Amino acid sequence: MDLKDIVSKNIIYLRTNNKMTQLELGDALSYSDKAVSKWERGEAVPDAYVLKKLSALFDVSVDYLLSEHDEKELKTLKSHGFNRRNISLISFFAIWTLAVAIYAVLWFFVDSPKWLVFVYALPISLVNMIVLTAIWGKAKYNLFNISFLVWSILAAIYFTFLQFLHYNWWLLFCVGIPAQIVVFLSFRIKNKK
């Protein structure tokens, strides 16, 4: 098998294993879906710059992209996605377990509204998801995570003011509208090559 076929097979495998379309992969690399299609058909080999970006995107070495692989190696690579999902779930449940523990401690020692612990746990969970998503190269999903983060922070502030200052600060949610627009527009910025 020649180099074009090897690279083609590896790109197809990595893209489909990560549930990406050719258009999504092209966008992540700042290339067109037509260029990705050419690479996958074995009509061209990506240059060194693109191979480096592919290796970072899929968390593999450039050597991996240029080498043939057997079934055992492919199964090992598939486990990366499973491990990432497990790490995400573990960190999510660790945050909420800590929130329950803090709630239990506050139950015995504090008379103030203890349920606010769970209101604060939500933005912390979302920050955790945003960081993990960005680390693993799936930043396109962070539009939703950051949107939820903005609204959950506003809700946390609102409920805190409502409980401790005894004033209904519902106008605070008006800040969320321009913040949501900024988040949306920032995700529409494309890095053109």
Closest CA to 62 of 71, 74, 54: 54
The pLDDT value recorded for residue 15 is: 87
The verdict on 92 and 133 lying in the same domain is yes
Compute the average pLDDT of residues 144-148.
92
Q: Reply yes or no on whether the pLDDT at 128 is more than 90.
A: yes
The verdict on 19 and 109 lying in the same domain is no
User: Is 74 within the bounds of a domain?
Assistant: no
User: Is 73 within the bounds of a domain?
Assistant: no
Domain limits at 107? 79-187
Alpha helices for 59-175 (secondary structure H) = 62-66, 71-109, 116-135, 142-164
The verdict on 61 and 86 lying in the same domain is no
User: Is 31 within the bounds of a domain?
Assistant: yes
The verdict on 169 and 88 lying in the same domain is yes
- pTM given for the model: 0.59
Query: Cα(4)–Cα(7) distance, rounded to whole angstroms?
Result: 5
φ, ψ dihedrals at 135, nearest 5°: -65, -40
The verdict on 43 and 106 lying in the same domain is no
The verdict on 91 and 175 lying in the same domain is yes
The verdict on 125 and 158 lying in the same domain is yes
Compute the average pLDDT of residues 52-69.
83
The verdict on 87 and 134 lying in the same domain is yes
For residues 122 and 187, the model is more confident at 122
Looking at the 3D structure of the chain, how many domains does it have?
Answer: 2
Under the banding of pLDDT at 50, 70 and 90, the label for residue 182 is very high
Under the banding of pLDDT at 50, 70 and 90, the label for residue 59 is confident
CATH number at residue 39: 1.10.260.40
Closest CA to 31 of 42, 22, 19, 40: 22
For residues 137 and 84, the model is more confident at 84
Closest CA to 40 of 7, 2, 63: 7
The verdict on 31 and 106 lying in the same domain is no
